[in-house]
Amino acid sequence: MTIQDRDIRQRFLFEYSDIRGEILTLEHSYQAVLDKACYPAPIAQLLGEFLAGACLLSATLKFDGIVSLQAAGTEPLSMVMADCTRHNDIRAIARYSDEKFKGDKFDKGESGLSQPLYRLKDFLGENATLAVTIDPSKGERYQGIIPIENDTLSGCLTDYFSQSEQLPTKIWLQADEQRVGGLLLQALPSGQQKLEDKQDYWHHLTQLAQTLTAAEQLQLSHGEQLHRLFHAESLRLFMPSDVQFACSCSKQRTASMLASFGFDEITTMLSETNPIEVRCQFCHELYLFYDADCTKLFSPQSSTLH
């Protein structure tokens, strides 16, 4: 693993075709997420996959916005969520029952790599759902929700693109306790190829990508992975983009959330605890709101509600 292949996402194109790709490695940004909570290894790996999935989906947007992935279930994992901004700021969180998170099906494989003995339903139970949310800086928010019927997040995201009638897309995700790897292939609208030729080439490339192992995805540099898979193809690589952990919380945004409770509720909260303490779930930043701060929430001059 070369130093420049840590915490970067890189786009590539297959020359003379209508197929593009993204390759991704997370390390320090992934560890920054894990440092915020003490997650069991399988949940940590799943968080890594969600981070990579959100980051890869963000790369497919043609506008400024935030992409979020969130799975909701019952037990032992009730929720896992990750998001990525257009500036490649990522964050993630999971909620789970520690007592119920036990059993052989959550043990790691002998390799120590991401060769899970679990399925997503082992984490989330039956009737779990996956939500893909796109929140543009301008325009309406969009959310697509699908049932989790695949064993892996990679498979679920492929199902999402298939069911939403978007561009044919396949994603491969791997994570261990140190780093995360991601690969995306996407067929663009026809331009340089006839439809039949593009379909044949798409099948050829996805079959090649399917041979990438977990160890290769986590331990090889991007150049080595792409050469290993597509050495017989003509590739054009673009400049990589840095990815970093960053939280979008702020005292102003937290104040807006508090103001939504209304004056009477905030007054009651202050009578029970002063100051009101609000801790960000993602980065654990603590925000304190004293009497004067809460008064400003409802003053005519306050811009908090706008």
% of the chain residues with pLDDT over 90: 43
Tokens for 281, please give them. 């779930």
pTM of the model: 0.84
pLDDT recorded at residue 238:
94
Rg (alpha carbons) of the chain, rounded to whole number: 21
The DSSP string of 58-111 is HTT-SSSEEEEEEEE-SSSEEEEEEEE-TT-EEEEEEEE-TTT--SGGGSPPTT
Which run of H or E residues covers position 256?
Answer: helix 251-259
Spell out the residues 6+ positions from residue 197 whose beta carbon is closer than 8 angstroms to its own. Answer: none
Instruction: Please provide the size of the chain in residues.
Output: 306
Q: Choose the weakest-confidence range: 103-107, 134-138, 302-306.
A: 302-306
Domains of the chain are 3-245 (3.55.30.10), 251-297 (3.90.1280.10)
238-261 pLDDT, tens digit per residue, is 999 999 988 777 788 788 888 888
The pLDDT score that the predictor gives to residue 103 is 52
Q: Reply yes or no on whether the pLDDT at 306 is more than 80.
A: no
pLDDT, residue 194, reads 83
pLDDT for 89: 93
% of the chain beyond a pLDDT of 70: 90
**CA-to-CA distance for 294 and 9, rounded, in angstroms?**
42
Residue 117 — pLDDT band, cuts 50, 70, 90? Answer: low
pLDDT in tens, 132-185: 999 887 878 888 888 998 999 999 999 888 887 678 999 999 999 899 999 999
Distance CA 303, CA 266 (A): 17
Higher-scoring residue by pLDDT: 303, 14: 14
- 111 CB-near residues (< 8 Å, 6+ apart): 214, 215
For residue range 182-217, what is the model confidence (pLDDT) as tens digits? Answer: 999 999 887 777 888 888 999 999 999 999 999 999
In which band, very low, low, confident or very high, does the pLDDT at 293 lie, cut at 50, 70 and 90? Answer: confident
Whether the per-residue pLDDT at 1 is higher than 80: the answer is: no
